Chain A
């Protein structure tokens, strides 16, 4: 019944994200998608030109909120460190509750090697990195933190927390939430670096 209110296209994309999260990128095939959706393989082609188009839609979905999150963070009242923490918390909460979406981040390498997704994922990564880097630069310039690490190095650490944290969470589902972990680690880094 609810089927008629949610577009089949949106449901296929949601299933694709779930498939990637559960079984990996290689599992994203028309057959697996059709089985998950309980539809025929041919119906997938009614909405997408092929599995590549499904993957493009998945990657677009992955980056869908990036610009608005960045605009929100930029406008926040507070220090650069507060902004970095808010930014981290927003993504950590989203990935904590949407395991499949978090898994996309762990497939960067593969997505970069696919001609269909290379440009989108590369732009998304660069935009996220530039944003985080600019926030750390702001924190150093305004003397919130000691310049022990360069903004670029801090961005690498920040990204490492996310990728390793997401990977670890996928190994041990029962451990504490990713969101809490990110918050704690950033808190420790802040303690060490704060001026």
Chain B
């Protein structure tokens, strides 16, 4: 399984990477443009990130814009809604402040930072990413 972590904070990225590397190959990008770049490069090679952990407050372009870009890339490459990447948005903002309108139905779940690993694990199970 390919996993993309789009996270500018090194400590958070390392934390997520350490946990998720048990389940697949992890790629970390430090800003929004690099995240889209990485995602599209994989797509062009016929590979799809099964899971994307996407921070909202990121340099260059924010997580909302990254989300819109990667969904657009998937559509252009003919990836069906069922097979598209699972996207978990992450942020220091609480759930009520997370503007789900901006993300519409393009994301799969949302978790507040600092990440509660038990909650995150349940989320991965619910999204059928891990058993």
Contacts and interface: CB of A to CB of B under 8 A. Distances in A.
B40 interface: yes
**By DSSP majority rule, is chain A's interface helix, strand, loop, or mixed?**
helix
B36 A5 contact: yes
Interface of B: 8-10, 30-33, 36-37, 39-41, 44, 56-62, 65, 69-70, 72-73, 76, 92-94, 96-99
Contacts of B61: 6, 10-11, 14
B30 to A, nearest CB: 7
A127 to B, nearest CB: 15
Interface in A37-57: none
A108 interface: no
A58 B14 CA distance: 30
B8 A98 contact: yes
Given A5-B70, A5-B73, A10-B65, A97 B93 contact: no
Interface of A: 1-2, 4-7, 10-11, 14, 17-18, 64-65, 68-69, 71-72, 75-76, 86, 89-90, 93-94, 96-98, 100-101
Nearest to A99: B59
Contacts of A5: 36, 40, 69-70, 72-73, 76
A72 B110 CA distance: 15
Please list the 8 inter-chain residue pairs (A to B) with the smallest Cβ-Cβ separation, ordered nearest first.
Answer: A97-B8, A98-B59, A68-B97, A5-B69, A14-B60, A2-B40, A72-B94, A72-B97
B9 A93 contact: yes
